[in-house]
Amino acid sequence: MVCCFLMILPKVPGHLFRKIGNIFQKEYNLRVKIIRLILLGLLAGAALAVGLLMGRMRPQDVPAAHAPRIEKRLVAKTFHPAPPGVRTPEPSVDSAAPRLTDEERQLLKLQRRLDRPGALPNEALLKFASADALRAFLARADKAGIKLLGQHEGLHVARVSYEQLEQLRAALGSDAEASDITIDPNFSARIPDILQREDRPSGTGVASFEGEGFLNAVGAKGDRATWGQGVMVAVVDSGIEDHPTFAAHQLTHVDLVNDGQPFNGHGTAMASLIGGQDWQAAGIAPGVQLLDIRVADASGTSDSFTLAHGITQAADAGAHVINISLGSYGDATVVREAIAYAQGKGAVLIASAGNDALGSQLSFPASVPSVVAVGGVDANFVQAYFSNTGLGLDVVAPAVGIQSAYGKSSIIIGDGTSQATAIVSGVLAQALASGATTTAGAAEWLKQHAKVLSLAPERGGAGLVQVK
């Protein structure tokens, strides 16, 4: 048939051939459209059937594998901007998670209090309104699996550790919401490393005070053998070694770490700048009594609780000046309470601004307004390259290329606001010994007699501390 068709095909006129082709093409297109419509109809019918089936299923009939897991749902609210002049309130735990149970809310609040930068993990400092309240908590704490790491009866403070936050919450009970209990993290505190010459960057703030240059810079000249007599300066630090620069009767030791490890040399360096007697490690006031309060271990690490304990120990021992050449950036209530306690006993606290070259940020406790905050300058009397700055800075002192004792018998040359702080403590010790000021007026005296420098107040405070 096909052969016959092919044989006669050449005899068919061209216009007829085109008509036949068009007929076949139209028929083909029509069949394709019909097939498409049929397929679309089948698909629509199948989708409708599935939808009807799913709509009739009960919630428990839906396969669990396909159900999304929703832990908590937040209520969606339309945002309406506050009118001009109206302050938008901070979001609370209740508004942020309205479906939380009361117990979950309390745990979240507790977690937010304790999980802060610099906090020691799984530790808390709890300050109670009375000794009775502290004792009542301690009775519950043992049953809840809370470990007591230390307590300060005078401040009604307990240092505790826990494995699970729920344990601490259970031990606190109703006290967790009481207004007369303070719950704080126990922040890590450190003595800074003594910066060496090779650590210095290029640029300004790096000129060294050679030899006794730092003594001359603050006016500590002439025979100083009796300077500081009758004054006790507590060095709350890493411990003081019996270095040859100290007289045998000059040191009293209190060790709050008691780890049996060798002392970090930082504390010895600070003490020598305050009251060292040897010319190689000379201090501002060689006649001063030095109270060694060790609060930092061999690595230079301490914490808020131990620091607070050291401050109160120094005050109870009768220290006139408390030198704190260490710190953190965690503001702890227990340390503030210890500062207030010491000041109530007539002590002056002097603390380092910090060596992190931070702008508008003093180390804690130097950031406490009632504490004398000390920054550092170099031999050209410009801000030391590492010194923190802030509007709370009170005075500055030599801090670059400072020679001091170190360890049992060594001499070191280093940089730091720690050294500047010790120099200020020595200057104040002599001022108190000479009757130039009292502990009550010490902070103002230091600022009034400081040498004005070409530095903004946040960089240089009232100026370079001076002996008058």
The letter for the amino acid at 158 is A
The confidence score (pLDDT) of residue 103 equals 79
DSSP designation for 115: -
The residues that bridge with 126 in the sheet, in sequence order, are 158, 183
DSSP string, 31-46: HHHHHHHHHHHHHHHH
Contacts of 312 (CB under 8 A, 6+ apart): 152, 154, 155, 338, 341, 342
Cβ neighbours of 459 (radius 10 Å): 20
Residue 60, classed as helix, strand or coil, is helix
Q: Domain 103-186 belongs to what topology?
A: Alpha-Beta Plaits (3.30.70)
**Domain 189-460 has what CATH class?**
alpha beta
CB neighbours of 60 closer than 8 A, spacing ≥ 6? none
Strand ranges, E, within 341-418: 348-352, 372-377, 395-398, 402-406, 410-414
- Secondary structure of residue 95 in the 3-state scheme: helix
pLDDT tens for residues 376-404?
A: 999 999 999 999 999 999 999 999 999 99
- Interstrand relation of 157-161 and 188-190 (parallel, antiparallel or unpaired): unpaired
Euclidean distance between CA atoms 8 and 219, whole angstroms: 129
What is the residue-level pLDDT of the chain in tens, covering all 468 positions?
433 333 334 444 555 545 555 655 666 666 666 776 676 667 666 655 555 455 444 444 434 433 333 233 222 233 333 333 333 344 454 455 468 887 788 889 899 999 999 999 999 999 999 999 999 899 889 888 999 999 999 999 999 999 999 999 888 887 666 667 899 999 999 998 777 777 778 678 999 999 999 999 999 999 999 999 999 999 999 999 999 999 989 999 999 999 999 999 999 999 999 999 999 999 999 999 999 999 999 999 999 999 999 999 999 999 999 999 999 999 999 999 999 999 999 999 999 999 999 988 999 999 999 999 999 999 999 999 999 999 999 999 999 999 999 999 999 999 999 999 999 999 999 999 999 999 999 999 999 999 999 999 999 999 999 998
Count of all residues that appear for the chain in the document: 468
Which pLDDT value is given to residue 29? 67
Shared fold status for 103-186 and 189-460: no
Give the span between the Cα atoms of 398 and 361, in whole angstroms.
20
Element at 253 (helix H, strand E): strand 251-255
Whole-number Cα distances in Å, 137 to 151, 174, 304: 12, 11, 21
pLDDT of residue 197: 74
**pLDDT value at residue 11:** 46
Q: Residue 84: what pLDDT?
A: 38
**Domain locations in the chain?**
103-186, 189-460
What does the pLDDT read at residue 6?
35
Active site annotation includes 409? no
CB 276 within 8 A of CB 283: yes
Measured CA to CA, the distance from residue 245 to residue 276 in angstroms comes to 5
Q: Measured on CA atoms in the order 137, 139, 142, 144, is the torsion positive or negative?
A: negative
Contact assessment for residue 323 and residue 425, using Cβ atoms and an 8 Å cutoff: yes
Residue 210: how many other CB atoms lie within 10 Å: 11
The answer to whether 389 touches 360, Cβ cutoff 8 Å, is: yes
| pLDDT, position 59 | 41
DSSP-derived secondary structure letter, 411: E
pLDDT of 26: 61
Active-site residue among 208, 302, 387, 418?
Answer: 418
Q: Is the CB of residue 425 less than 8 Å from the CB of residue 372?
A: no
Is the Cβ–Cβ distance between 330 and 117 less than 8 Å?
yes
* DSSP notation for 158-189: EEEE-SSHHHHHHHHGGGGG-TT-EEE--BEE
- Reply yes or no on whether 237 is catalytic: yes
- Catalytic, out of 237, 292, 303, 415: 237
The single residue listed with the structure tokens 């060496």 is 196
R_g (Cα) of the chain, nearest Å: 38
Report the alpha-carbon distance of residue 413 to residue 2 in Å, rounded. 111
Beta strands per DSSP E along 47-176:
123-127, 147-152, 157-161
Contacts of 17 (CB under 8 A, 6+ apart): 9
Backbone angles phi, psi at 45, to 5 degrees: -65, -40
Whether 418 is catalytic: yes
Catalytic residue among 152, 156, 243, 266: 266
Q: Where are the alpha helices (DSSP H) in 89-164?
A: 93-96, 102-114, 131-143
In angstroms, how far is CA 202 from the centroid of its own chain? 28
